[in-house]
A and B are shown apart, each in its own frame.
Chain A
Amino acid sequence: MLIVALAACATRPDPSNKAAVQAYEETNDPIEPLNRYFFELNRFFDIILIKPVATWYQGVVPDPARNSIRHFLDNLDAPVILANDSLQGEWNRAGITAKRFGINTTVGVLGLFDPATGWGYPQHREDFGQTLGTWDTPEGPYLFLPVLGPSPPRDLAGFAVDKFFDPLTYVYWNGPYTVPVTRFVVNGIDVRSRNLGTLDQIERTSVDYYATVRSLYRQSRANEIANGDVSQENLPDIDNLNFDTNEPQAVAPK
């Protein structure tokens, strides 16, 4: 077991090579070989099970029905989003989440429809991983888990804490587990079915699918934490970047 753990560690670069050390720290993926193994494992299950089911789901279930399932699941997430809006002090967004929940649960027939978006209360997502991010908690080393996918420590902890913000957790505390499991599975299938084309495209246009997914995950999480604001800060310094100078090599600041 120890050997496996050791073998799973990415080799640290030579400490005298500053650019390599900086790049290693920026990649922040110390157990990359293990992560890649789980990544491939997930891909295997995706190919033999999840993707076929998602494709079938998309093909067989009519659009309006799938959209209603999506709206229903999104509406169930409202308490978690509301809790995190509030913890971040985003009162405006908390208000939108509360109004959305009220409107969609009543007018939207228990969340099966989403009239709130049309009334000027568009959907947004929040989770405790993002809340920790707004509190300047670093993401931690990259971690890719079977089933869950990219789950660095901050987001994994956030995922666990969010369960406690969810009233349904207490409703089904003593079982039966069929309801939470069904919710998790249907949500997974629905999300996958909505990304069939996109993920195919990314996979086929990437020189390294694993590294691309890692970058996409991190960048989109950072963007979600910033609530979609693309800021000028944290952009890499590119002023003197080209093949012909001997300027220090550009590595994006963290």
Chain B
Amino acid sequence: MTTLNFVRTAAAPVAFCAAVLFSIFATAPAQAANADPAAEKWVDDISQRAIKIISDKSAGRQAREAQFSTLLNESADMPRIAAFCLGQFLRTPTADQKDEYLKLFNNFVVKVYVTRLSDYHDEKLTITGSQLKGDTQVLVQSQINFTNGREPVKVTWWLLKKDSGYKLFDVNVVGVWLAQEQRSAFTSVINNHNGDFTALLEHLKGQIADAEQGKLPPTAATTSGSSVQ
């Protein structure tokens, strides 16, 4: 009896290791089956177009923003993102306020991300994998490899399947979901004005005006000297 117990105890780690190894090999093909190559290709296309737009030095800021806006409206589900960013205040705006908000949101996102993305001009994005999330959503993983030796940046794309194609919902850059970041800022503005929706509209207008007056940094200086992080 004791011998049997001893054998059992001794065998436990071996069995555990075997189980772990087995599960590794067993899940590998399963993950591949869960991938969505069409979504990966879609993200690859979109990101190449985006990088091309922000890398185009011949175009002025306005031209770049116009091109980026077209790309964004074509490929991202802007009304849904705008709705998401309102969080608990989704039902707060009146019909007029909603229309104004949607317009401002569009403009704001274009201005902010043309600025923030200027960091990544002339860089290359490599798709590293994808998983279906339910029937209607896909997460696509990718990585930006920098030519100047800076550590690669992980980017995850959250897509919705729409009709026969895809629409972008959110992008995760080094662990930060951008729409979630915007939502916390937007809801905070409304909260701190006692639920007044016009406060958010005013803030958005202010940001857009700042950007138009050139108060945004033209290009980010973050690429220099940040190889160590």
Indicate whether A and B interact.
yes
In the complex with contacts A228-B154, A249-B87, A216-B200 CB distance below 8 A: no
Shortest CB distance B158–A (Å): 7
A178 close to chain B: CB less than 8 A: no
* 5 closest cross-chain pairs (CB), A and B: A223-B175, A211-B188, A197-B221, A215-B184, A23-B88
B222 close to chain A: CB less than 8 A: yes
A194 close to chain B: CB less than 8 A: yes
In chain A, positions 39-75 with a C-beta closer than 8 Å to chain B are: 58, 63, 66-67, 70-71, 74
Q: How far, in angstroms, from A24 to B156 measured CA to CA in the complex?
A: 28
Q: A197-B220, A212-B181, A241-B80 are in contact. List 14 more A-B contacts (CB 8 A).
A: A71-B228, A194-B226, A201-B217, A205-B111, A207-B185, A210-B188, A211-B185, A215-B181, A228-B174, A230-B172, A235-B133, A242-B83, A243-B83, A243-B98
Q: How far, in angstroms, from A196 to B169 measured CA to CA in the complex?
A: 29
> B158 to A235, Cβ gap below 8 A?
yes
Q: How far, in angstroms, from A207 to B211 measured CA to CA in the complex?
A: 12
B216 close to chain A: CB less than 8 A: yes
Residues of B within 8 A of A252 (CB): 180
Binding site secondary structure of chain B: mixed
Q: Can you report 22 residue pairs joining A to B where beta carbons are below 8 Å apart?
A: A27-B188, A58-B225, A74-B228, A201-B115, A201-B116, A201-B216, A204-B210, A205-B112, A205-B115, A207-B186, A210-B188, A211-B189, A214-B184, A215-B181, A219-B181, A230-B172, A230-B175, A238-B80, A239-B136, A241-B84, A249-B88, A249-B91
Residues of B within 8 A of A71 (CB): 228
B43 close to chain A: CB less than 8 A: no
Shortest CB distance B229–A (Å): 7
In the complex with contacts A219-B176, A232-B139, A251-B87 CB distance below 8 A: yes
> A208 to B189, Cβ gap below 8 A?
yes
- B111, B185, B225: the one contacting A194 at CB < 8 Å is B225
Q: Please encode chain B, from 189 to 227, with 1 for each CB lying within 8 Å of some chain A CB and 0 for all others.
A: 100100000001001100100100001110011100111
B165 close to chain A: CB less than 8 A: no
Closest to B176 in A: A219
In the complex with contacts A219-B180, A238-B80, A204-B154 CB distance below 8 A: no
A250 close to chain B: CB less than 8 A: yes
Q: How far, in angstroms, from A219 to B181 measured CA to CA in the complex?
A: 8
In chain A, positions 223-237 with a C-beta closer than 8 Å to chain B are: 223-224, 226, 228, 230, 232, 235-236
B75 close to chain A: CB less than 8 A: no
> A22 to B228, Cβ gap below 8 A?
no
> A241 to B83, Cβ gap below 8 A?
yes
Binding site secondary structure of chain A: helix
Q: How many chain B residues have a CB neighbour from A under 8 Å?
A: 57
Residues of A within 8 A of B181 (CB): 212, 215-216, 219
Residues of A within 8 A of B160 (CB): 238
- A23, A58, A207, A222: the one contacting B87 at CB < 8 Å is A23
Chain B residues with CB under 8 Å of chain A are: 79-80, 83-84, 87-88, 90-91, 98, 111-112, 115-116, 131, 133-134, 136-137, 139, 141, 151, 154, 156, 158, 160, 169, 172, 174-177, 180-181, 183-189, 192, 200, 203-204, 207, 210, 215-217, 220-222, 225-229
A114 close to chain B: CB less than 8 A: yes
In chain A, positions 167-220 with a C-beta closer than 8 Å to chain B are: 193-198, 200-201, 204-208, 210-212, 214-216, 219-220
Q: How far, in angstroms, from A78 to B191 measured CA to CA in the complex?
A: 42
Shortest CB distance A125–B (Å): 10
Residues of A within 8 A of B187 (CB): 23, 27, 211
Residues of B within 8 A of A228 (CB): 154, 174-175
> B228 to A223, Cβ gap below 8 A?
no
Residues of B within 8 A of A219 (CB): 175-177, 180-181
In chain A, positions 86-142 with a C-beta closer than 8 Å to chain B are: 114, 122
Q: How far, in angstroms, from A197 to B116 measured CA to CA in the complex?
A: 10
Residues of A within 8 A of B200 (CB): 207
In the complex with contacts A207-B189, A242-B79, A230-B88 CB distance below 8 A: no
Residues of B within 8 A of A200 (CB): 217
- A66, A201, A211, A249: the one contacting B90 at CB < 8 Å is A249
